[in-house]
Amino acid sequence: MSGVRLLLLGIVLAFGTAQAHQVNLSTARVTLGADRAVTVEVALKGSDADRLAGTAIFDAARDAVDPAQVVGSAAAITAYIRSHIAVTGADGAPPCEQGTPALVPDGDGVIYRASYSCRNVSGDIVYRSTVLTETDPSARQVVLIGDGPDAPQALLDASNTSVMLSAPAPSLLSTMQRYLVTGIEHIFLGYDHIAFLVAVVLWARRLLPVIKIVTAFTVAHSITLSLAALNLVIIPSIVVEPAIAASIVFVALENFFSRDIDRRWRITFLFGLIHGFGFAGALREVGLPPNAVAVALAAFNVGVEIGQVAIVSLVIPALMVLDALLAADRAKPARAAPLVYALSALISLLGGYWFLTRIIEA
């Protein structure tokens, strides 16, 4: 049974104590005025501010910052943000003159406000930020450029730290590439989605049932992802997230009672509708650019699909290898029931843990 223990160890290391749907995200609104004055507002989660600036403003029990602690820690947090954002001219031009910044509490986070005078800077103006991304390459910053709810958006990360304020909106190709990568990253960081996919294919030994399962999951989550992302159907996350965890427990426990992989696409389609609302929650955190909603939505969805195909393409060959290693007759390898039961038990425990924590946190 060394092969079973090896795969179990790999999944434990992959899942471990990881929490699903961790979103390492900050937001910013940058406005360029007619007099070449730039205002910047950066919103940062309180727990992230504590981690980055070494402060203690966030109260996890209340899921909120302590206003008094924000006042006392303003200097440290302001110093961190100020050192990680800049407003400058393009092509090595000098920075714009910065006014005195301010930091205010905002629910579970803080808002940093600063103004810049760029009257002495000619040409385009560039906003740069390495807030969060300098220490965590997976972090993102959503930048709203201008006032109003329909302001253009840009997505900054560790490899793309600046946006041109006076340049035209990002091209459709650039938008498509960024949301495609975001979709791929989300499925690989969404440990609950990975657990669900692994559980539904544990009995699979033929390609056709796997194709039916992946297709059903894709069609289903595409429907609800689109409806939710476009605000046509909204289900609160306090309902969606426990339901996703419950779906994981269901398919994992079903492996103990049924090996009918040919019909499993049906239940996968049903639960895929629920998972689509989870994907939409992650996409809503990033936001959709008003000038390219359809392109961004389609690219994100394709990215999710690429990610889940990659996961299944790794899991199925690994199971096939274990079949050969564990088979009594190497000429006729079969799926070892103890392997499926052990993995299903582990996945059901993970799903149960996620279900309880999400119910409690709700």
**What's the 3-state SS for 48-103?**
HHHHHHCCCCEECCCCEECHHHHHHHHHHHHHHHHHHEEEEECCCCCECEECCCEE
Whole-angstrom distance, CA of residue 183 vs CA of residue 244: 18
Per-residue pLDDT of the chain (362 residues; tens, 9 = 90+): 444 444 433 443 333 333 443 447 888 999 888 678 899 999 999 989 998 999 999 988 888 889 999 999 999 999 999 999 999 887 667 788 888 999 999 988 999 999 998 877 777 888 999 999 888 888 888 898 888 777 788 889 888 888 887 655 567 787 888 889 888 888 888 888 899 999 999 998 888 999 999 999 999 999 998 898 888 888 888 899 999 999 999 999 999 999 988 889 999 999 999 998 988 887 777 777 766 778 888 898 899 899 989 999 999 998 888 888 877 666 666 778 888 999 999 999 999 999 999 898 76
| Phi, psi (rounded to 5 degrees) for 97 | -75, 125
Whole-angstrom distance, CA of residue 32 vs CA of residue 332: 69
Using an 8 Å Cβ cutoff, are 182 and 159 in contact? no
What is the residue extent of each domain of the chain?
A: 2-20+190-361, 25-170
Q: Which amino acid is at 45?
A: K
Q: Look at residue 19 in the predicted model and tell me its pLDDT.
A: 40
Q: How many helices and strands, by DSSP H and E, does the chain display?
A: 10, 12
Whole-angstrom distance, CA of residue 348 vs CA of residue 245: 9
Q: What are the DSSP calls for 14-38, one per residue?
A: HHTTPPTT---EEEEEEEE-TTSEE
CA 345 from chain centre, in angstroms, equals 26
Using an 8 Å Cβ cutoff, are 82 and 101 in contact? yes
Tell how strand 140-145 and strand 25-32 pair up.
parallel
- Residues whose CB falls within 8 Å of the CB of residue 161, separated by 6 or more in sequence, listed in order: 128, 129, 130, 133
**What's the 3-state SS for 243-266?**
HHHHHHHHHHHHCCCCCCHHHHHH
Cα radius of gyration rounded to whole Å, the chain: 24
Using an 8 Å Cβ cutoff, are 126 and 90 in contact? yes
Burial of 159 (0-12, 13-18, 19+ CB in 10 A): exposed
Count other Cβ atoms within 10 Å, centred on residue 327: 14
Q: Tokens 């981690």 map to which residue?
A: 51
Using an 8 Å Cβ cutoff, are 292 and 172 in contact? yes
- Residues whose CB falls within 8 Å of the CB of residue 72, separated by 6 or more in sequence, listed in order: none
Q: Look at residue 84 in the predicted model and tell me its pLDDT.
A: 93
